[in-house]
Amino acid sequence: MMDQPLLISSIIRHAAACHGSTEIVSRISDGSLHRTNYAEVYERSSKLANALASWRLQRGDRVGTLGWNDHRHLEIYYGVSGAGFVCHTINPRLFPDQIVYIVNHASDRLLFVDPSFVGLVADVRQRLQSVERVIVMCSASAMPPEAIAEGFECYEEVIAAHKSGFDWPRLDENDAAGLCYTSGTTGDPKGVLYSHRSTALHALAVCAPDVFNLGERTTVMPVVPMFHVNGWGLPHAAPMVGARLVLPGQRLDPASLYRLITTEKVTFTAGVPTVWGSLLDWIDDNKGEIAPLERVAIGGAACPQIMADRFHKQGVDVVHAWGMTETSPVGLANRCTVPASPAPEGIMSPNRRLKQGKPLFGVETRLLNDDDSVLPHDGTTSGRLQVRGPWVASSYFNPPLESANRANDGWFETGDIATIEAAGTVEIVDRAKDVIKSGGEWISSVTLENAAMSHPDVYEAAAVARDDERWGERPVLFVVLRPGTAPSKEGLLSHLGTRVARWWVPDDIHFVDDLPHTATGKVVKATLRRRLRQ
């Protein structure tokens, strides 16, 4: 067979050639809808690539983005990666210090920012060591005055100043195309580099019928942000098959999403459980119906059975997907079938979780015991879940020494505890790692604990996740006080409020005499989590 590399540029070139007039609808910052198509996105990506070339970027240089889901972000995905640079999507919900760390660690040379993040970037601009230009993703008339005062450039002016048509390089398919940091583990955020090959193979895999089931007749609305692991592959998968794209911008409230689904006739959407819980409540309150929606992918955190039941009642199929930043992200998918005889109203336990499903072709799974022995796939024995596959990271990007390589023996340690049935269906039953996942976003337990310990009365602190119907998980803090001290809960919470993002502040604090420890002195978080559940 021909040795034809799998490249990001080939995806958009294919879309422009074969699905050129297929529409891409974006909600832009002023709330209006912008309409374009794959041919135009291709043309404008080539203008952007010409701009990048004129700025003398070197092959493999990183280009950061702080953007919502819209057509400009899509053009940057293709212009940057296609031209041989690395598109580094940054999560704007992180604390500014983390954003500074990530930009500096990645050595981003350029930063593309949505107008809504201009203030955030202006505040930290002096600390961004490698950034040479900041380009604001808007037209000249929408440039915020602060951006002009800071000397930031205007995206539309950049595009207008460069010619279309670009000689896309024939890269090695194993070259880096994208970069995303996970703050999901302890310590500093860690970068995961995606290659052209891994991105293309992952996107092909998620198009399959029992995964996202995408094709020419699908209208896809990725609610999962494009700054989260390449929007679960949708910005690459949709153009591959010529699916219409609806990009919701920054308005992710249930009323706005509902309106987009119904007026733009969205047939498939994807996001974390928190988003769907709010949407389903809104639909109930407003007696709405979400026809034309046919299918929803739910992932990033466990999907409660009751959520799948509520979608099924609306005639919407559910795909429960599991993945990680390190797995591109989709590794497992469970196309939940409608129960033959649905349980009567109120019988379903809201805490029952659905299994995460079978591996996509290419991904393999195994379970390990604490002593590293391989455990049986019998659906009941639980162990550490490890995965491997062509879109699973083998190491981190310029990793800090202590985490130089989490891949062990050719397998990636997920930090999840799971069972696997004989026929391959995986259920995530707990988490070995200590991070807390709230509304699909990570909260670092270590950062919370350090913030708590910076209070003079706190001797020891442990932050753990408590199940939460709306957010999936919320942080709760266990605190051992220094003898003779008695700070108030409120006082301690406001101390934390000055040190971490507002949504990281724990929902509750339990003052305890001591914490459970392992022989090596680590707090046994599983015991604390169990205590909270009970």
- In DSSP notation, 20-58 reads TT-EEEEE-TTS-EEEEEHHHHHHHHHHHHHHHHHTTPP
Min dist. Cβ of residue 332 to ligand AMP (A): 8
b/e code 317-349 from CB counts within 10 Å (16+ = b):
bbbbbbbbbbbbbbbbbbbbeeeeeeeeeeebe
Locus of tokens 């911008």: 249
> Which residues make Cβ contacts (< 8 Å) with residue 530, sequence separation at least 6?
none
- Contact between 356 and ligand AMP (CB under 6 A)? yes
Q: How many CB atoms lie within 10 A of CB 484?
A: 6
Catalytic residue flag (residue 173): no
Min dist. Cβ of residue 395 to ligand AMP (A): 15
Query: Which of the residues 411, 437, 473, 525 is marked catalytic?
Result: 437
Locus of tokens 């990506």: 45
Residue number, 47 or 437, with CB nearest to ligand AMP: 437
Q: Which of residues 514-533 bind ligand AMP (CB under 6 A)?
A: none
Min dist. Cβ of residue 381 to ligand AMP (A): 19
Query: Which of the residues 75, 264, 326, 449 is marked catalytic?
Result: 326
* Contact between residue 328 and residue 194 where contact means Cβ atoms under 8 Å apart: yes
Catalytic residue flag (residue 216): no
The whole-angstrom separation of Cα 159 and Cα 156 is 5
Residue number, 171 or 476, with CB nearest to ligand AMP: 476
| Phi, psi for 237 (deg, rounded to 5) | -70, -40
- Contact between 416 and ligand AMP (CB under 6 A)? yes
Min dist. Cβ of residue 186 to ligand AMP (A): 13
Here's the x/- map for ligand AMP, 28-67, by CB under 6 A: it reads as ----------------------------------------
* Contact between residue 221 and residue 279 where contact means Cβ atoms under 8 Å apart: no
Min dist. Cβ of residue 185 to ligand AMP (A): 9
Using the contact rule CB under 6 A, the part of the chain among 170-178, 279-287, 300-308, 360-368 near ligand AMP is 300-308
Residue number, 197 or 320, with CB nearest to ligand AMP: 320
Query: Which of the residues 22, 36, 89, 182 is marked catalytic?
Result: 182
Catalytic residue flag (residue 327): no
Residue number, 79 or 415, with CB nearest to ligand AMP: 415
Q: Which of residues 315-344 bind ligand AMP (CB under 6 A)?
A: 320-325, 329
Structure tokens at 382: 């639980």
> Which residues make Cβ contacts (< 8 Å) with residue 342, sequence separation at least 6?
309, 312, 313
Structure tokens at 531: 């205590």
The whole-angstrom separation of Cα 31 and Cα 53 is 33
- Contact between 302 and ligand AMP (CB under 6 A)? yes
Using the contact rule CB under 6 A, the part of the chain among 62-70, 89-97, 295-303, 523-531 near ligand AMP is 295-303
If binding means CB under 6 A, how many residues of this protein chain bind ligand AMP?
A: 22
Residue number, 242 or 299, with CB nearest to ligand AMP: 299
- Contact between 182 and ligand AMP (CB under 6 A)? yes
| Phi, psi for 176 (deg, rounded to 5) | -70, 140
CA distances from 250 to 73, 117, 136, 278, 319 (A): 12, 11, 15, 16, 24
Half-sphere exposure (Cβ direction) of 4: Cα atoms closer than 13 Å: 7
Min dist. Cβ of residue 249 to ligand AMP (A): 22
The whole-angstrom separation of Cα 327 and Cα 317 is 24
Residue number, 237 or 321, with CB nearest to ligand AMP: 321
The crossing angle, in degrees rounded to 10, of helices 8-19 and 234-241 is: 40
* Contact between residue 398 and residue 331 where contact means Cβ atoms under 8 Å apart: no
Catalytic residue flag (residue 358): no
DSSP-derived 3-state class of residue 486:
coil
Residue number, 258 or 397, with CB nearest to ligand AMP: 397
- Contact between 444 and ligand AMP (CB under 6 A)? no
AA letter at 162? H
- Contact between 415 and ligand AMP (CB under 6 A)? yes
Query: Which of the residues 68, 411, 442, 504 is marked catalytic?
Result: 442
Min dist. Cβ of residue 334 to ligand AMP (A): 8
- Contact between 438 and ligand AMP (CB under 6 A)? no
- Contact between 431 and ligand AMP (CB under 6 A)? yes
Min dist. Cβ of residue 232 to ligand AMP (A): 9
Residue number, 82 or 92, with CB nearest to ligand AMP: 92
Going 372 to 377 to 380 to 385, the CA torsion angle's sign is: positive
Structure tokens at 38: 């794959």
> Which residues make Cβ contacts (< 8 Å) with residue 61, sequence separation at least 6?
85, 86, 107, 109
Min dist. Cβ of residue 331 to ligand AMP (A): 9
Using the contact rule CB under 6 A, the part of the chain among 201-209, 299-307, 340-348, 526-534 near ligand AMP is 299-307
Residue number, 134 or 448, with CB nearest to ligand AMP: 448
The whole-angstrom separation of Cα 435 and Cα 472 is 13
Residue number, 236 or 455, with CB nearest to ligand AMP: 236
User: Using CB under 6 A, which of 64, 184, 233, 288 touches ligand AMP?
Assistant: 184
Give catalytic residues, as residue numbers: 182, 326, 437, 442
Contacts with ligand AMP by CB under 6 A lie at 182, 184, 229, 299-302, 320-325, 329, 356, 414-416, 428, 431, 437, 442
